């Protein structure tokens, strides 16, 4: 036999059998075939679901931000206070008080009035119960007087500045006489300079309160003088002379 007879020729693929295909189509169209197809779909869908699930589980889990742990403060112990040594104050002994013996105080002075540098001037100081006569700023005479009793508007002598008015002479008031009167001004009544009041006893003059002159007020507002002093004032010529009467304060030497 030749070598060609021993060689095996390759087989051609067999042609599809038409009958077999018809049989397969008929089977697939039968209820059994349809059920088999549905089952196959279910199996394939289940396998696909498992594959997708496995892929989802293999994905990276979402990052969860965990809160940082709270930082606890570190307690640092306070430094121990070191007391500052303050030196005790030095107490100085108080000086011994020197007790001064009481010094006699002069009585408060009355009003100080500066007389004018020119002309005549009469100052009636009620605290001193004194009348002073000035000529060109120089004192030429002084007389004790008695002014009105203080404490009542009806009897006191008010402070006043003016000029001596007209001559009145002798007049009668309050149950007695007064000589050589000179008019000063009108207050609640007439204020004059005049001699001490008197009454007649057995045809002669008896004067009242001569001991008060220069010592204490005793009139009802007028300025009283002794009989001799009022005559001297008349001879001096007081009419038109500037007069100042200081107020009674009770602080002068005459009490």
Say which range, 92-106, 138-152, 192-206, has the weakest mean pLDDT.
92-106
Per-residue pLDDT band at 121 (split at 50, 70, 90)? very high
Per-residue pLDDT band at 26 (split at 50, 70, 90)? confident
Domain assignment present for 154: yes
Distance CA(199)–CA(176), nearest Å, equals: 5
Do 139 and 223 share a structural domain?
A: yes
Give the pLDDT score at 110: 52
Percent of the chain with pLDDT over 90: 53
Going from the C-alpha of 169 to that of each of 161, 177, 178, the distances in angstroms are 22, 11, 8
- 181: containing domain: 120-245
Do 238 and 137 share a structural domain?
A: yes
Domain assignment present for 69: no
Give the pLDDT score at 1: 46
Residue pLDDT, tens place only, 49-99:
887 777 766 554 555 555 555 556 565 566 565 656 656 666 566 666 566
Residues in the chain, overall count: 255
Domain assignment present for 95: no
Q: Which tokens is 105 given?
A: 């105080």
Per-residue pLDDT band at 9 (split at 50, 70, 90)? very low
Do 45 and 129 share a structural domain?
A: no
Domain assignment present for 195: yes
Distance CA(142)–CA(228), nearest Å, equals: 13
Give the pLDDT score at 84: 63
Please state the rounded mean pLDDT for residues 188-217.
Answer: 97
Q: Which tokens is 145 given?
A: 């007087």
Q: Which of 137, 110, 105 is nearest to 246 (CA)?
A: 110
Strand boundaries in the chain, DSSP class E: 120-125, 130-135, 138-144, 160-163, 167-173, 176-186, 190-195, 198-201, 204-207, 223-225, 242-245
Whole-number average pLDDT of the chain: 82
Domain assignment present for 17: no
Say which range, 22-26, 115-119, 162-166, 192-196, has the weakest mean pLDDT.
22-26
Answer yes or no: is pLDDT of 5 > 50: no
Q: How many CB atoms lie within 10 A of CB 236?
A: 14
Which pTM value belongs to this model?
Answer: 0.58
Do 40 and 130 share a structural domain?
A: no
Domain assignment present for 115: no
Q: Which tokens is 127 given?
A: 């605290």
Domain assignment present for 36: yes
Give the pLDDT score at 249: 93
Please state the rounded mean pLDDT for residues 103-120.
Answer: 71
Do 223 and 135 share a structural domain?
A: yes
Pairing type for strands 204-207 and 198-201 reads antiparallel
Q: How many domains is the chain partitioned into structurally?
A: 2
Distance CA(198)–CA(209), nearest Å, equals: 9
Do 218 and 137 share a structural domain?
A: yes
CB 114 within 8 A of CB 100: no
Domain assignment present for 184: yes
Going from the C-alpha of 198 to that of each of 130, 171, 179, 195, the distances in angstroms are 21, 11, 9, 9
Q: Which tokens is 248 given?
A: 């009674």
Per-residue pLDDT band at 2 (split at 50, 70, 90)? very low
Distance CA(197)–CA(219), nearest Å, equals: 9
Q: Which tokens is 206 given?
A: 């008896």
Distance CA(18)–CA(29), nearest Å, equals: 17
The domain that holds 231 is classified in CATH as: 2.40.440.10
């Amino acid at each position: 036999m030749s070598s060609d007879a021993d060689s095996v020729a390759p087989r051609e693929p067999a042609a599809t059998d038409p009958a077999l295909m018809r049989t397969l189509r008929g089977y697939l169209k039968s209820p059994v075939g349809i059920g088999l197809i549905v089952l196959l779909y279910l199996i394939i869908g289940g396998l696909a679901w498992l594959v997708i699930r496995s892929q989802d589980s293999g994905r990276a889990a979402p990052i969860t931000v965990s809160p940082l742990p709270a930082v606890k403060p570190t307690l640092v112990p306070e430094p121990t206070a070191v007391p500052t040594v303050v030196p005790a104050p030095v107490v100085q002994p108080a000086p011994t008080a020197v007790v001064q013996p009481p010094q006699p105080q002069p009585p408060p002075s009355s009003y100080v009035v500066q007389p004018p540098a020119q002309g005549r001037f009469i100052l009636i100081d009620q605290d001193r119960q004194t009348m002073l006569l000035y000529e060109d700023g120089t004192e030429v005479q002084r007389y004790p007087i008695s002014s009105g009793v203080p404490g009542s508007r009806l009897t006191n002598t008010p402070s006043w500045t003016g000029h001596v008015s007209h001559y009145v002479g002798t007049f009668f008031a309050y149950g007695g006489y007064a000589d050589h009167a000179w008019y000063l001004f009108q207050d609640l009544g007439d204020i004059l300079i005049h001699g001490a009041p008197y009454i007649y006893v057995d045809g002669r003059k008896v004067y009242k309160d001569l001991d008060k002159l220069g010592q204490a007020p005793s009139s009802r507002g007028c300025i009283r003088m002794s009989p001799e002093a009022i005559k001297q004032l008349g001879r001096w010529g007081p009419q038109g002379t500037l007069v100042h009467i200081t107020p009674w304060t009770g602080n002068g030497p005459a009490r």
